[in-house]
Amino acid sequence: MHEESGWKQTLPKRERPRMVVIGGEGNAGRLISSLERYDASTNEWEEEPVAPMPSARTFVRTAVLDGKLYAAGGHINFAASNLVERYVFETKAWEAVAPMAEARSSHGMAVLDGKVYAVGGFNNDDGDLSSVERYDPATKAWEAVAPMATARHGPAVAVLEGKLYAVGGGTDGYPSSVERYDPALNAWEAVASMGTVRDDLAVAGLDGKLYAVGGFSDGDLTSVERYDPALDAWEAVAPMAEARRYHAVAELDGKLYAVGGEDAGYHALRSVERYDPATNAWEAVVPMGKLRRASVAVLI
């Protein structure tokens, strides 16, 4: 998570990295314009306001790079958009960014090698998308990269050992397939599929392995599995105590956090669980102050 170094420099030097959960929505579709910062050393959350996006959107996707939160795509007036805006934490203000080449909604977003990737998604003209593009803040422009083999509507994406993974999502039900992008080769390759079909899941890297957490498959899931790239294989690990989808996950201090989301009754959650790979067990930590689903969790 070194990409967030620009934001870290604005914080007091005594502070250790903290997990921050940004945006999302509560019940009844209420959008949340605040962030909450979690300190593992005190097991406490601290909330601060964030200015609302200038353009109201649903199914927007976000990623943090160099102290800026990029909000790309999403639906505006029931149509997918290519609009991109970013929030500068240092100035606490939004600014315009070059639009994506392709309108997309319900896509994946991640940061790899100092660039922001927008992966798959959906738009009104083309349906589900296999296309991928990336934004370079040095050139202030988006460029197309190699497309995925599978069109993926709502993929979960994460970076592991310098490669980008697109997990689940697609046009045909809720697939378990996974693809991996190598920026050095500008190429995608298929890797082992998950053991469980999952939609609306969250993924994150921890200790050289990729974790697929929760989601939906004929019901909300508590189950978790992890991928070992050395073996090209998935294995089940301990399940969460609470089923959740539309949640966020992040790694902090060698542990994995599952944050908020939505339960089987379509209610937003504020609960948080923490996974320790050394004990293969989840434990509850103090909940957030606000109900949040479809938020983003990052380290600062």
> Tokens 């992008």 appear where?
181
The number of distinct structural domains making up the chain is 1
Structure tokens belonging to residue 250? 């992040």
Query: Mean pLDDT throughout 184-209?
Result: 96
Average predicted confidence (pLDDT) for the chain: 89
Q: Which residues of 148-181 are buried (b: 16+ CB within 10 A; e: fewer)?
A: bebbbbbbbbbbbeebbbbbbbbeeebbbbbbbb
Q: What is the mean pLDDT of residues 6-23?
A: 56
pLDDT band at 59 (very low <50, low <70, confident <90, very high): confident
CA distance 215 to 188: 24
Question: Looking at residue 224, which CATH number applies to its domain?
Answer: 2.120.10.80
Each residue of 255-290: pLDDT tens digit? 999 999 999 999 999 999 999 999 999 999 999 999
1 pLDDT more than 80: no
213 DSSP 8-state letter:
E
Tokens representing 77 are: 């007036």
- Mean pLDDT, to the nearest integer, of 239-261? 95
Confidence band (pLDDT; 50, 70, 90) for 300? low
At 171 the pLDDT is 67
**Nearest to 79, CA basis, from 42, 35, 123:** 123
SS3 8: helix
With 0-12 / 13-18 / 19 or more C-beta atoms within 10 angstroms meaning exposed / middle / buried, residue 186 is exposed
**Residue 4 reports pLDDT greater than 50:** no
Q: What average pLDDT score do residues 38-55 get?
A: 88
Q: Give the mean pLDDT of 133-146.
A: 98
Domain that holds residue 130: 2-299
